[in-house]
Amino acid sequence: MSCLNAWKTGMIAALAAGLPLCAEAMQWPDTAQTLCYDNTKQIPCPTDENSPFYGQDAQYLGTARSYTKLGPGGVELPADATSWIMVRDNVTGLIWEMKNNMDDTPDYSNPHDADNYYVWCNKNYAYTIECDRENNTDSFIGSLNNENFGGFSDWRMPSIKELSSIFYAGLSPHVDWNYFKPMMHHEDQYHEDWYCSLDQKSSEKLWIWFISFSGRDVESGPVDFNYFIFAVRGGK
């Protein structure tokens, strides 16, 4: 799949955010986007290649989404399993950490608690002041790798492109609830369902890219905000 086709089949949000489109080897699932827009409103999808706004996400079909629930050691579980600790995206090859115990009460003694939130930290970047704060994303990733979570020690923060790959326009919140529902927060007057990525906003080094799964968009925010996070590993 070319970088252009990867954009057409699922990365339009990343393009709009001014991010690099893709790695050549990676496949991306279809977004289920069915509507077309101009700069201000919905329009019929253009059919003439020379028309303005031709070639939108809705005009291309990508690879159908496919997920597998996983247990310890990556053991595959049936789709109707009621307990699982990881989810494998069979299109991208990415394996996502599963959250638990969503009750609106953080519990940092359990790194998989769905209510835990963190400040952004990446010690590979020049700006690391948030890494001195308790409950930062780097310490969270370290805790997973130290415990060899799921039988693996190569967990990491997702890039914004990887995070976008589980965004599903055909559902609300925009993620496959059969696999990710127990880990996804709704955005309301009490919560911001901001899930952070590894990526800094290139023009503003103190800001990072995140996704609001109920808000249907890729956004950027300061590194010292509170963000939810789920870890990822692997990839094709």
Instruction: Judge whether 10 lies within some domain.
Output: no
Instruction: Judge whether 18 lies within some domain.
Output: no
pLDDT in tens, 1-30: 333 333 333 344 443 444 444 444 457 777
Choose from 55-59, 97-101, 140-144, 165-169 the range with maximum mean pLDDT. 140-144
Average pLDDT, the chain: 80
Query: If pLDDT is split at 50, 70 and 90, which confidence band does 170 have?
Result: low
Asked whether residue 128 carries a pLDDT value surpassing 80, the answer given is: no
Instruction: Judge whether 14 lies within some domain.
Output: no
Instruction: Judge whether 190 lies within some domain.
Output: yes
The pLDDT of residue 183 is 63
Domain that holds residue 132: 90-234
- pTM comes to 0.76
Instruction: Judge whether 220 lies within some domain.
Output: yes
Quote the CA–CA distance of 173 and 151 in Å, as a whole number.
Answer: 30
Instruction: Judge whether 38 lies within some domain.
Output: no
Number of domains in the chain: 1
Contact between residue 30 and residue 61 where contact means Cβ atoms under 8 Å apart: yes
The pLDDT of residue 176 is 82
How is the chain split among helix, strand and coil, in percent rounded to 5? 20, 20, 60
Instruction: Judge whether 218 lies within some domain.
Output: yes
Over the range 76-111, which residues count as b (16 or more CB within 10 Å of their CB) and which as e? Answer: ebeeeeeebbbbbbebbebbbbbbeeeeeebeeeeb
Instruction: Judge whether 150 lies within some domain.
Output: yes
Longest alpha-carbon distance in the chain: 57
